[in-house]
Structures are given as C-alpha cells and as structure tokens.
Amino acid sequence: MVIINMSDALSKAGDALDVGRVRAFVTVARTGTISRAAEALFVTQPALTARLQALERSLGVELFVRSRQGSRLTDAGRALLPHAERALAALQRGREAVEDVASGGAGRLTIGAAPAVSTYVLPAMLHRFQAGHPGVRLSVRSGHSEEVLEMVLREEVEVGLMRPIQHPEVTATLLYEDELVLVVHRGHHFAAAGHVRMGELATENLILFDRTSSYHELTSAIVRQAGISPRGQLDVDNIDAAKRMVEQRLGIALLPQTAVQAEIGTGRLVPVTITDMAPVRRQIVVARRRDAGEVPPVLAAFLATLDHLRPSEERSHRFLA
C-alpha cells in the first residue's frame, strides 16, 4: 500500500500541483468516469485527462486504474482523496472569507475615541454596526483627543473619533457637533423658569469634570469671559460623576448634550437656556492617517453607520484635509 502525506506531496509538487488538477482528481473520484467528470467541470475529456496525468507525474504515482467500466482509485488515490477534498473545502472557505472582507462583512476594526464619544455615542453605533456585520472583530481604545491623535499616528487604530486637532499627517471629516448644555436638578429654581442670564450663575456652585479634558478648559473659559465668579466650584473626575453631583443638588453644570440626553429624557436633569450666551458647540471629527490609502470596506461600513450623525452637507465617506 502506498501512503501519501498531502502536505509533503504539495511541497514536492510545487506549482505543478495546482487547484485545477486537484479539482479534476476529486471530481473523477466522485463520478467514477472521465466523461462524467468532464461534463461536471465543463472541460473536454482530453483536457481533463491531461490534468490527471500531470498530477500523477508530479506525485510520481498512478492515482486511477482505468478500464472500460470507468476509473477506479488506486491505493495512492484513496490515500490522497480525503486530503484533496479538505484542501478544496479550505480554498472555498478562504474565498468566502475574502469576499466577506471585501464587502465589509468580516475583518477587524480598531477605533480610538475620546471619553465623551466612547461613553455616550459609540456604544449605540457599535450595536447597530455589529448587528449588520457580526463577522467583524471590534476593538475600542479610549483616551483624550490628544491621545487618540497619537493612536492614529502610530497606526494603533484605523480611525479616531475626537475633537479637531490639526496635524499635517492626519485628515479629518466632521462627524457631529455636541452643544454644551446647562443642567440643574429638577427642584432647582432655574428649572421652573427654564432660562437664566449668565450673571445668575454667580449664585451657584459650578461643577466641572476632568481637569485634563478640553471641556474643563472650555467651561472655565466661558465663566472667565463672562466676568463672573461662581459661589463655589466642585471638580470631579468624569461626566458621570458631574451628573450625579447635579442630581444630588450639589451644584449646576455645563455638560455635553449627548452625555445628558438620557437624564433629561427621564427628568432627572433639567436643561436651562442661558439667554445671553451664544450656543457653545464642540466638533467631533473622524480622523485617519493621511497616507492610509483608500478606505477599506470594513471601515466604510462603519462610517456608513455613523452617517446619520453628520450634518447633511458633510455626509460623505471621503476624508478631508
């Protein structure tokens, strides 16, 4: 009995043992005759015979005993058959995997996101994206916008969701604008009126979050430019802590609208309009390395999920300088 190791055979045969010859061998083995196999493969009988003979030469053995009744596998042919079938099945799975990646249905996507984005915007977007692309492996890294920019530059993430930071090696497109909203607890006297003037904030404790965040700097600048000094100031680590402080009647806060939508919807926090202050908005952009090349299908599919967040005039998957 002749035993053939398929991996050794492939190594020895090299380019001579191509997929067409393996498929021809498997088809003849399954159908039992050259004529039926030729019909199944849409080739002529001489062409099919030539493929089989080339395969036998490359392996140095005969794979079939040919007779008027058909083609019967030799011991070598029977040894080779299960390996050949698995090889063809693996190639088919590989082809399907490539098609999935090309269509955006599979692959890997690593996203960098600023804290307010990763906490309050990204989860719903990823849920929607994953529902339509369950084969994509997702990874999210969170950090301040400066840190996300470094992730993009070091190619640790494919895309960054962050505030705009100009850099010659990065392109960006506007994703959405997040407005700062003054929120108070539902029993606060500001809540009854629904609006205040900037000067009235001087009677309140102002709650700020995360001294390293750009929002902390922005809120402090608003107060300084208005020329007011709040009665007190509480600094906390993050937005969630700031919201809890407001709910517990410890002060008021200017917070990103996306971060307080749920609490406003349930009435736990109440938005108050500052009548003599122009709306303060912070842009969030999608950032990518300038030399990253064409947007791959997986990233394009993710950006399509984000598209409803964009202003209508910005709805494009092209990255702008």
Weakest mean pLDDT among 1-15, 147-161, 253-267? 1-15
pLDDT range class, residue 100, cuts 50, 70, 90:
low
Rg (CA), the chain: 32
Q: Give percent of the chain with pLDDT exceeding 90.
A: 64
Burial 152-163 (b: 16+ CB within 10 A, else e): beeeebbbbbbb
> Residues 77-93: pLDDT tens digits?
999 999 998 888 888 76
Decide if 218 is inside a domain. yes
Do residue 115 and residue 58 come from a single domain?
Answer: no
- The domain boundary, picked from 66, 81, 103, lies at 103
* Residue 296 C-alpha from the chain's centroid: 11
- Predicted confidence at residue 10, as pLDDT, reads 44
> Residues 208-254: pLDDT tens digits?
999 888 889 899 999 898 898 999 999 999 999 999 999 999 999 99
Tokens of 57: 């030469």
Do residue 226 and residue 289 come from a single domain?
Answer: yes
pLDDT above 70 for 106: no
Kindly state the average pLDDT of the residues 2-26.
62
Tokens of 212: 């390293």
pLDDT range class, residue 5, cuts 50, 70, 90:
low
Under 8 Å between Cβ of 171 and 312: no
CATH code (residue 24): 1.10.10.10
Residue 46 three-state SS: helix
- Predicted confidence at residue 212, as pLDDT, reads 87
Do residue 180 and residue 165 come from a single domain?
Answer: yes
Weakest mean pLDDT among 5-9, 160-164, 199-203, 282-286? 5-9
pLDDT above 70 for 17: no
Across the strands, what pairs with 285?
Answer: 162, 174
- pTM beyond 0.85: the answer is no
Do residue 37 and residue 69 come from a single domain?
Answer: yes
Do residue 89 and residue 120 come from a single domain?
Answer: no
- Predicted confidence at residue 105, as pLDDT, reads 56
Under 8 Å between Cβ of 152 and 112: yes
In this structure, what is the dihedral angle of CA atoms 29, 31, 37, 39, given to the nearest 10 degrees?
-170
> Residues 291-321: pLDDT tens digits?
988 888 888 889 888 877 765 544 444 443 3
Decide if 254 is inside a domain. yes
Do residue 150 and residue 283 come from a single domain?
Answer: yes
Decide if 84 is inside a domain. yes
Do residue 214 and residue 83 come from a single domain?
Answer: no
pLDDT above 50 for 12: no
Do residue 298 and residue 246 come from a single domain?
Answer: yes
- Predicted confidence at residue 2, as pLDDT, reads 42
pLDDT above 80 for 116: yes
Average pLDDT, the chain: 86
Which residue matches tokens 């050794």? 8
Tokens of 294: 């064409």
Cα–Cα distance for residue pair 192/162, rounded to 1 Å = 35
Which residue matches tokens 């090696």? 169
DSSP label at residue 61? S
Do residue 302 and residue 264 come from a single domain?
Answer: yes
- The domain boundary, picked from 56, 73, 103, lies at 103
Cα–Cα distance for residue pair 298/295, rounded to 1 Å = 8
Residue 260, judged by CB atoms within 10 A of its CB (0-12, 13-18, 19+), counts as buried
Which residue matches tokens 């680590």? 237
- Domains of the chain: total: 2
- Predicted confidence at residue 151, as pLDDT, reads 95
Kindly state the average pLDDT of the residues 132-158.
93
Contacts of residue 117, Cβ cutoff 8 Å, sequence gap at least 6 = 161, 162, 284
Under 8 Å between Cβ of 163 and 114: yes
Angle between helical axes of 75-103 and 19-31 (0-180°, round to 10): 120
Cα–Cα distance for residue pair 251/231, rounded to 1 Å = 10
pLDDT above 50 for 75: yes
Decide if 111 is inside a domain. yes
Tokens of 3: 């035993």
Cα–Cα distance for residue pair 191/256, rounded to 1 Å = 18
For residue 163, give the nearest of 217, 93, 241, 208 by alpha carbon. 217
Do residue 128 and residue 230 come from a single domain?
Answer: yes
Cα–Cα distance for residue pair 64/48, rounded to 1 Å = 13
> Residues 167-214: pLDDT tens digits?
999 999 999 999 999 999 999 999 999 999 999 999 999 999 998 888
- The domain boundary, picked from 58, 79, 103, lies at 103
Decide if 1 is inside a domain. no
For residue 206, CA distances in Å to 93, 146, 147, 179, 185 come to 59, 26, 27, 18, 13
Domain extent, residue 251, equals: 107-321
Q: Which residue has the higher pLDDT, 14 or 242?
A: 242
Do residue 88 and residue 146 come from a single domain?
Answer: no
Do residue 88 and residue 30 come from a single domain?
Answer: yes
